[in-house]
Amino acid sequence: MKTARMLCLALAGLTFAGIAQAEKGASSGRIHFVGQIVEGGCGVTAAREGLEIACYRSGEHRVQQVALTASADTPLMRSVGTVSHRTLPGDPQLQEVVIQYL
């Protein structure tokens, strides 16, 4: 009986030691990133006639005017993405604009 207790205590001690080691191992190490740092999104300013979209790409600031009267999606400069919009139901003065980055 005494041997069984000692064996159980020894196994419990080893279990807790293993958990402690796992915790320590999880908090150290190296992470390797592969790829490139991408540029941020574009800045958007609303105007009465549409949108002014300013993007910083490849070391250059570019500005594009987007009219909200067109019904089709409008491509953004340098194939950054597209701008689409729709009039919200019940209020022809309100529009939803979606800028989708590619």
SS3 per residue for 35-66: CCCCCCCCEEEECCCEEEEEEEECCEEEEEEE
CA–CA separation, 42 vs 55, rounded Å?
A: 4
Give CA–CA dist 50/9, Å, rounded: 74
pLDDT at 18 over 70: no
pLDDT confidence of residue 37: 66
- Average pLDDT value for the chain: 79
Q: Is it the case that residue 25 has pLDDT exceeding 90?
A: no
Q: Cα separation of 97 and 53, whole Å? A: 12
DSSP conformation class of 76: P
How buried is 96 (Cβ within 10 angstroms: 0-12 exposed, 13-18 middle, 19+ buried)?
exposed
> Given this model, what pLDDT does residue 58 score?
81
Cβ count near 24 (within 10 Å): 9
Is the confidence at residue 21, as pLDDT, over 80? no
